[in-house]
C-alpha cells in the first residue's frame, strides 16, 4: 500500500529538540537514520514506529556490523540538513530516510557532495536519482502489476477514472505507458476534482466497450467514485474493476460496489508476520510504513556483511536481481525509483484475498 505519510508540506516546523544523540547497535559500519521523531501528529507516530522497526531489524539480524546514528529532523528540511550533516560528520557511509519529500533534497545536497548514497522513504518519484533511492510503495509499481495481470487474463480495452491531483497524475502516466506496452487500448479516460458526477457520466456512457476500469484513489474517495458511477447508470458488476495498493482499506472491503475488484499490493502475509513480532516486542501496532525502516536496515546489514568496501555503491544497490524484504521482492532502478514484486488481490467483504502471488524473482 502506498505510504500515507508523505505530504508536500511538513507536519510541523518544530526544530530538532536537542535531545541526546540516539545510537543503536555497536558495529563498525555507521549508518544514518533520519526520521521526524519530534514532529507533531501522524508524522511523529510514524517516525517512532519506524525507529522501533529499525531497531527490531538490528536485533533480528545475527550480529550485524552496523551502528545506527538516529537523527530527528523534526519533519522539515532544515532539520533534515542538520541531521544529515551530523551523521556524515560522525562517519555515516549511507543515509536511510528522510520520510518526507520536502526533506529529501536537503539531505541529498550534502550526501552528493560526499559521494554517499541515500535510501529515502518518500513516495514522490520526482526527488529520486543521482544517489537517492526510494524504498517506498510507489503507485507506478501497482499500476504496472495490475495492467500486466489484466492483459495476461485477456483484457484488452481499458477505461480509467482518476483523481485530478499529484497521485492521479503519477497513476495516469504509468497507466498509459503500461497499457501501451501490453498492446491494449484506452477507450475512456477521465479525471475528477470536487465534481465527480460529470466525469463519472462520461465514463459510464463508454463502459460498454471496456473490459476493465481503473479507479485509483484511497478508501473513502474510491467508494465515493464507485457510487458516482452507479448513480450515472454504470453497472459495475459487468466490468472488471482495477485498483492500486490504496484499496487495501476497510472502506473498500465494506463497499458492495467494489466487491470482486482486483488491486496490486504486497502479499499481506509478510506484514502480518512482521506485525505480530512487533506487537510482541513493543506492545502496540506498527504503522504500515514501518516495514520500510526494517527492510532498509536489514538490507544495509546484509550488504555490510557481504559486499566489502563497495557495499553501498550504486552498482551494488541497483543489483538487477533485487533483494527480499518483509513486503516481498524489491529492486532499485538506476533512476532511484524502485520496482516491487506485488501480489494481485481480490476485494471481498472480509478483506483482500490473493488471486496471483508475488513473483519469486524479477524477469530480465
What's the pLDDT at 341? 96
Least confident range of 3-12, 124-133, 282-291, 319-328: 3-12
What's the pLDDT at 360? 87
Give the separation between CA 104 and CA 276, rounded to whole angstroms. Answer: 31
Rounded average pLDDT over 254-269: 96
| Model pTM score | 0.89
Contact 296, 119 (CB under 8 A): yes
Rounded average pLDDT over 132-151: 96
Confidence label for 62 from pLDDT (cuts 50, 70 and 90): confident
Contact 164, 192 (CB under 8 A): yes
What's the pLDDT at 21? 61
Same CATH fold assignment for domains 22-137+270-332 and 140-265+345-355: yes
Residue 134 scores a pLDDT above 90: yes
The residue assigned the cell 501528529 is 41
Residue 327 scores a pLDDT above 80: yes
For the chain, the domains span 22-137+270-332, 140-265+345-355
Q: What is the mean pLDDT of the chain?
A: 93
Rounded average pLDDT over 155-172: 97
Half-sphere exposure of 103 (CA within 13 A, CB side): 39
Confidence label for 63 from pLDDT (cuts 50, 70 and 90): confident
What's the pLDDT at 155? 97
Residue 8 scores a pLDDT above 80: no
Rounded average pLDDT over 121-146: 95
What's the pLDDT at 2? 37
Q: How many CB atoms lie within 10 A of CB 179?
A: 24
Confidence label for 300 from pLDDT (cuts 50, 70 and 90): very high
Among residues 163, 236, 173, the alpha carbon closest in space to that of 199 is found at 163
Residue 214 scores a pLDDT above 80: yes
- Residue 16: all three cell numbers together: 530538532
Rounded average pLDDT over 244-264: 96
Residue 278 scores a pLDDT above 80: yes
What's the pLDDT at 324? 95
Residue 3 scores a pLDDT above 80: no
- Give domain 140-265+345-355's CATH number out of 3.40.50.2300, 3.30.1360.30, 3.30.465.10, 3.30.930.10: 3.40.50.2300
| Domain at 22-137+270-332, CATH homologous superfamily | Response regulator (3.40.50.2300)
Rounded average pLDDT over 70-83: 98
Query: Could you give the angle at which helices 104-114 and 77-89 cross, rounded to 10 degrees?
Result: 30
Confidence label for 131 from pLDDT (cuts 50, 70 and 90): very high
What's the pLDDT at 20? 52
Amino acid at each position: 500500500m502506498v505510504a500515507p505519510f508523505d505530504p508536500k508540506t511538513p507536519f510541523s516546523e518544530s526544530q530538532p529538540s536537542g535531545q541526546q544523540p540516539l545510537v543503536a547497535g555497536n558495529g563498525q559500519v555507521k549508518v544514518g537514520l533520519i526520521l521526524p521523531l519530534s514532529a507533531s501528529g501522524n508524522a511523529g507516530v510514524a517516525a517512532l514506529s519506524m525507529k522501533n522497526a529499525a531497531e527490531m531489524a538490528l536485533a533480528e539480524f545475527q550480529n550485524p556490523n552496523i551502528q545506527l546514528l538516529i537523527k530527528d529532523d523534526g519533519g522539515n528540511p532544515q532539520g533534515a540538513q542538520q541531521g544529515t550533516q551530523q551523521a556524515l560528520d560522525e562517519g555515516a557511509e549511507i543515509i536511510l530516510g528522510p520520510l518526507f519529500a520536502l526533506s529529501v533534497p536537503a539531505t541529498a545536497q550534502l550526501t552528493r557532495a560526499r559521494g554517499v548514497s541515500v535510501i529515502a522513504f518518500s513516495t514522490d518519484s520526482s526527488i529520486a536519482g543521482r544517489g537517492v533511492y526510494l524504498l517506498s510503495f510507489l503507485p507506478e509499481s501497482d499500476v504496472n502489476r495490475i495492467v500486466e495481470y489484466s492483459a495476461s487474463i485477456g483484457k484488452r480495452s481499458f477505461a480509467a477514472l482518476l483523481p485530478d491531483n499529484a497521485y492521479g497524475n503519477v497513476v495516469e502516466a504509468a497507466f498509459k505507458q503500461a497499457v501501451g506496452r501490453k498492446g491494449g487500448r484506452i477507450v475512456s479516460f477521465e479525471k475528477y476534482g470536487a465534481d465527480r458526477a460529470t466525469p463519472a457520466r462520461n465514463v459510464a456512457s463508454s463502459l460498454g466497450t471496456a473490459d476493465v476500469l481503473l479507479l485509483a484513489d484511497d478508501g473513502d474517495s474510491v467508494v465515493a467514485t464507485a457510487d458516482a458511477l452507479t448513480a450515472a447508470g454504470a453497472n459495475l458488476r459487468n466490468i472488471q474493476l482495477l485498483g492500486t495498493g490504496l484499496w487495501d482499506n476497510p472502506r473498500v472491503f465494506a463497499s458492495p460496489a467494489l466487491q470482486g475488484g482486483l488491486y496490486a499490493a504486497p502479499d499481506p502475509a509478510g506484514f502480518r508476520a512482521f506485525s505480530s513480532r512487533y506487537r510482541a516486542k513493543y506492545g502496540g501496532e506498527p504503522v504500515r510504513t514501518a516495514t520500510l525502516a526494517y527492510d532498509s536496515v536489514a538490507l544495509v546489514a546484509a550488504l555490510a556483511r557481504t559486499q566489502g568496501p563497495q557495499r553501498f555503491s550504486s552498482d551494488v544497490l541497483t543489483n538487477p536481481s533485487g533483494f527480499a524484504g518483509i513486503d516481498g521482492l524489491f529492486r532499485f532502478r538506476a533512476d532511484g525509483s524502485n520496482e516491487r514484486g506485488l501480489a494481485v488481490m481480490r476485494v471481498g467483504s472480509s478483506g483482500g484475498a490473493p488471486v496471483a502471488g508475488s513473483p519469486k524473482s524479477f524477469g530480465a
